[in-house]
Structure 1
Amino acid sequence: MKKIILFLAAVCFAVASCTKEKTDYEAEIDTVVTEHYEFKEAASINSEDYKISIEALNGTFYKGYNEIHLIITNTQNNEKVNVSAATFLPIMTHADGSNISCPHQYDLLYKPDDNYFSGYSVFTSESNVNEEWELYISFTVANQTYTAKQSISVQDQPNKNLNMTAFTGKDDEQYFIALVSPQKPKIAENELVAGIYKFNKSTNSPSGTFPDPSQFSYTEVSGYTLMLDPRMPEPSMGNHSSLNNKNLVQQSDGLYHGVVNYTMTGNWTLNFIMLNQNGQILKGTKVPGDFTPGVEGVKSELYIDILF
């Protein structure tokens, strides 16, 4: 009987500590996550008789994954133009004059039902006084190709559920993982969607007029697996996990889909192990399964922190 009483007392103490920490934490952050579903103009460029409108969710470019809509109209009659092809290339210039890009869809896809071109850009950092993002766009009308560029502002992503990470794999390749959804998770099993991209190292010197797209090429990796182990790493939470999570695998949209089961609101870490097509580990480590109240949880070497 004495052992039972001591056990129940310990359980009550753990529950009380967890509740207190959780309540204090929510009072401190007091953050409302806003879901954005409306595409608005985030930037526009004029090229001769044409206006190029680049739309993004909430009319803002954020660090991380951005779906892009590109609409081209004739400035003489304000009507949409019959465009046969369009390209999209984001370039960042550092203070020292060096240039980099980020994962993006270079050849945009035409959506005939909505009459716009669609793509994405995974901006790897926000704009600041030392780093400037520019969009280089080309489009073809009646067999004539037009080009344009425009400086843009990339904002920090306030929604941690849409965080991203960049890393070098064991194959010495540069990879990027960007969370796409959910924007606003629920205390339930949530579909977890992410993009996984790789930088294509060029073996040739730059050619033609700057920028040479071959020097800034990225691809969606194909046939990989992103093994998932979600945990609450705060000491009061004991690094506990949840049941019914599913690893992320690629679907027909090119993105990776899985399931994450959030059992409560708060601070979560998505621990990953990334496997290539042959099942070889490219990045990530297994997380210990011990319940560790009072101790900050161990994370995989590949992880993304989220908060809801």
Structure 2
Amino acid sequence: MRFFNFLAAAFAFAAVSCTLDKTDYEAEIGLEVPESYEFKEAVSLNTGNFKISIDALNGTFYKGYNELHLRILNTQTNQNITDSEVTFLPVMTNSDESKTSCPHQYAMKFDAAGKYFSGYSVFTSESVAGSSWKLYLSFTADNQKYEITKDISVAKQDNKNLNMTAFTGKDGEQYYIALVAPQKPKVAENALTAGIYKYNKPTTTAGTFPDPSQFSYSEVTGYTLKLDPRMPEPSMGNHSSPNNKDLTQQNDGLYHGVVNYTMTGNWTLNMILTNQNGLIVKGTVVPTDFTPGIEGVKSELYIDTLF
């Protein structure tokens, strides 16, 4: 009962808040949330008698999490290659000519049902002037290894429900959290999915470029992502919602939980990441005070969403 009285107060304040100055939050209200559920070819490349095509949602590579489907076609026999060792390495060349990568699945796995090699890439930045992304691919066919490269473009992710964040943890490691689902939440309890990754610091001297040991990332294993969703805009008083569930890792390697959105609008997913021993890697507790007229306090680890 206390929560519903609290929520009613938030709604009442929102009704009389029209005298407040316009904010960035208000400017976003009413924006259409884009959805992409169809996989289309995002890039294709050829080497010898083979055509390699990579499908992504909406046929676009976006900043954040990208599920990838890769097919290899023998153009002479018109048959897809199904038995191959396929590697995938995205590398960004920065304006200072330094090279970086992003969380990705280096050794792609064949999906017999879909008849493609599956993987993912969490692009950490969109393509901008002065920096560029390039894919380094390899595969085997007829006992021969093929290597091929391709420049690609990474687009801005306009759906804030698929936002990501990168940070250095208290352990000194570099982490990445990327939202995977839902693309378009409902006013309800929503299954929330995220990928959590860590950069593997090289332990050996770099070999011939591109040496995958210098661009290695892994899924974080056995952590917990504690969740506290809030509506941070001043008119909402930073109120929360009941029945949320912290995210834990499941068999698919991703982290799954529940976020309860009680109304549409701007929400902040405040988070605390803890390791296998329960120690905090990043994040702070958010005050529970109802603060109408004041922008809500956020955890030091958070991701903003909008629907």
Q: TM-score, normalised by structure 2?
A: 0.92
Shift of the 271–147 alpha-carbon distance from structure 1 to 2, 3 Å rule, reads same
Structure 2: unaligned runs, 5 residues or longer: 1-8
Q: Match for residue 245 of structure 1?
A: 244
Q: Aligned partners of 1:240, 1:19: CA distance in 2, in Å?
A: 19
CA contact (8 A) 1:89 1:104 kept: yes
Q: Match for residue 177 of structure 2?
A: 177
Q: Match for residue 283 of structure 2?
A: 284
**Identity score, percent:** 67
Shift of the 19–258 alpha-carbon distance from structure 1 to 2, 3 Å rule, reads farther
CA contact (8 A) 2:10 2:239 kept: no
CA contact (8 A) 1:18 1:237 kept: no
Q: Match for residue 90 of structure 2?
A: 90
Q: Letter of the aligned partner of 1:118 in structure 2?
A: S
CA contact (8 A) 1:83 1:139 kept: no
- Where in structure 1 do 4 or more consecutive aligned residues deviate above 3 Å? 10-13, 18-21, 23-30
Q: Letter of the aligned partner of 2:62 in structure 1?
A: Y
Q: Which one has a bigger Cα radius of gyration?
A: 1
Q: Match for residue 220 of structure 2?
A: 221
Structure 1: unaligned runs, 5 residues or longer: 1-9
Matched, 1:273 2:275: no
Q: Letter of the aligned partner of 2:221 in structure 1?
A: S
CA contact (8 A) 1:26 1:266 kept: no
Shift of the 63–27 alpha-carbon distance from structure 1 to 2, 3 Å rule, reads closer
Q: Match for residue 4 of structure 1?
A: none
Q: Match for residue 294 of structure 2?
A: 295
SS at match of 1:14: helix
SS at match of 1:214: helix
SS at match of 1:299: coil
CA contact (8 A) 2:65 2:180 kept: yes
Q: Match for residue 103 of structure 2?
A: 103
Q: Aligned partners of 1:139, 1:125: CA distance in 2, in Å?
A: 27
Give the CA deviation at 1:82.
Answer: 3.6
CA contact (8 A) 2:82 2:110 kept: no
Q: Match for residue 113 of structure 2?
A: 113
Q: Match for residue 260 of structure 2?
A: 261
Alpha-carbon RMSD across the aligned residues, in angstroms, is 1.9
Q: Match for residue 186 of structure 1?
A: 186
Shift of the 12–290 alpha-carbon distance from structure 1 to 2, 3 Å rule, reads closer
Aligned residues: 297
Give the CA deviation at 1:85.
Answer: 1.2
Q: Match for residue 235 of structure 2?
A: 236
Q: Match for residue 74 of structure 2?
A: 74
Give the CA deviation at 1:18.
Answer: 5.5
Q: Letter of the aligned partner of 1:90 in structure 2?
A: P
Q: TM-score, normalised by structure 1?
A: 0.92
Q: Match for residue 6 of structure 1?
A: none
Per-residue Cα deviation, 1:266-306 (whole angstroms, up to 9, x for no partner): 11000000000000001000000011111111000000001
Q: Letter of the aligned partner of 2:246 in structure 1?
A: N
Q: Match for residue 3 of structure 2?
A: none
Q: Match for residue 136 of structure 1?
A: 136
